[in-house]
Chain A
Amino acid sequence: AQKVTQAQTEISVVEKEDVTLDCVYETRDTTYYLFWYKQPPSGELVFLIRRNSFDEQNEISGRYSWNFQKSTSSFNFTITASQVVDSAVYFCALSEIRAADEDDDKIIFGKGTRLHILP
C-alpha cells in the first residue's frame, strides 16, 4: 500500500533561516512519482515539483531544493533564506505510474506540514 508520512506537523522559523520539510514514503512499486505542493491560506494547491522515481538527482529551483534518497524512501524539501510569503502548508505526495492505464493513477497526500515564517 502507498503511504506518505510528513512527521513535522508544524514548524516555525524566523525569516531568513533555512528550513527543511521531511517526507518519507512507502510504495511497493518500483516506478512512481513524488510531488510537493504548497497550499497558502487561500486554499489553492500550488504545484512545486514532480520527481520520477528513476531520477534521483537533487533539484534546485531558486530558494527551493529537493533531496531525493531512494535508499531511505525520503524526498525532503529545503527552503533557504526563508521569507514570510513562504508561510503555508506544504504537502508531499506520491503517485504510482501505471503504464498500461496511466489515466487511472491517483495521488496520495501526506498530512502536510504547516510552516510559519516569522518576521
Chain B
Amino acid sequence: SQELEQSPQSLIVQEGKNLTINCTSSKTLYGLYWYKQKYGEGLIFLMMLQKGGEEKSHEKITAKLDEKKQQSSLHITASQPSHAGIYLCGADILRYNNNDMRFGAGTRLTVKP
C-alpha cells in the first residue's frame, strides 16, 4: 500500500475553476514537497512545507500542511490550461538515522478551455 495517498487520482476541471488535491500520509511527516510534471517531461519543484500549519504560495497555487492530520492540500485558484499536468506529493519519512522520501502516485489534472 502507498505510504502517501493522493486524491483524487485524476481531475478534469473547466478553466477558471478552483480545485484542491490532497496528500495524506500513513506515517509522521517531517517535510512535505509538491511537484508538477508535464506529460513526458521532468519534474518541477513547486514548494516544500515543514511546519504544521505552514502555508506557501507559488503564483496561483497554495499548499498547506496539517501536521495533526498528516495531510497536505494543494489548492489552485482560477485554473488555466497551463496548470494541466501531474501533481506529485513527496514526504520525508525519517527512519532510524537514515532520511528517506516517499511519493504519492500523482494526480492527473486536465483543464478544459
Tell me, yes or no, whether A binds B: no
